[in-house]
Amino acid sequence: MLTELDQGLLIYLMVFAFVLGTIMASFGTCMAERMAAGRSWLRGRSECDSCHHVLGVRDLVPVFSWLFSRGKCRYCGSKVPVKYPLIELLVGILFALVILRDGGIGFVTVRDWGMIVIALAVTITDFMTYEIPNGLPISGIILQLLYILSSGDIWGELKDSLIGGFVLAGGLLVISLIMDRILKKDSMGGGDIKLFFLAGLVLGLGQGVFCLLLASIIGLIMVAVMKQNRIPFGPAISVAFVMTLFIGTPVINWYLSLFF
Ligand SMILES: [Zn+2]
């Protein structure tokens, strides 16, 4: 599926992916914040949070707008948080790393770019509202279905995907229902389980379980660091999901090599 590319072309693709990643991060952040605020996430133009001046093209260039305006709104001078250019940079780097991982560009590359943007949007909305809008896991499931249809082995991919999704989400559902009984409170939200369903579909069973372990560790670290009563679990799952997209295969291969 992937074509052999010479190094020059690979670097060119990585630069393209980086730029695309910063733009997608900018869109993704904006849409997630609108979703979290309960506004229409497709309609309406971007505006400054403080003065509500509609932003122009010059204000919407990822990373650079922030750098050139020294982190301030051009119209009212209020500070634009540094998290915005940092998120854009991070997603740009991740997009380029997917190209490096795949040694070129294929359907799997495009799918994982989409998953990274969905993970970003989940992280933002869950931090802001403690909820994951259904549209996010659903977009991911549609993307995964398109990927399966584009693959050479539709039935094989579909089987692995469904086993991963249903075992992971089903297992978690049972665990969370038992925990709810013991703790007498909701231990895990429905959004978290839908997100694990997506992770299982994309990663398959083995990597899905690894993702679950990773998410639990990240969740525990968040509990220790944030010292809050209520911790959103979506960001932990999202970070674990994206990490597994990169390190899942080598980790599973290493684990299996211990036995065979
Ligand atoms: Zn302003």
What mean pLDDT is predicted for residues 226-233?
85
Measure 100 CA to ligand 1 centroid, in angstroms.
38
In DSSP terms, which residues pair with 54 in a beta bridge? 47
Give φ, ψ of 7 to 5 degrees: -60, -40
Residue 158 confidence (pLDDT) above 90 = yes
What mean pLDDT is predicted for residues 90-108?
96
The DSSP symbol for 55 reads P
Measure 93 CA to ligand 1 centroid, in angstroms.
28
Measure 59 CA to ligand 1 centroid, in angstroms.
11
Measure 126 CA to ligand 1 centroid, in angstroms.
26
Q: How much is the pTM?
A: 0.92
Residue 1 confidence (pLDDT) above 50 = no
- Residues 194-205 have pLDDT tens digits of 999 999 999 999
* Helices first, then strands: H and E counts in the chain: 8, 0
- Cα separation, 61 vs 124, in Å, equals 20
Measure 40 CA to ligand 1 centroid, in angstroms.
21
Angle of helix 190-226 versus helix 234-257 axis, rounded to 10: 90
Highest mean pLDDT among 108-117, 168-177, 223-232: 108-117
Selected residue with higher pLDDT from 55 and 185: 55
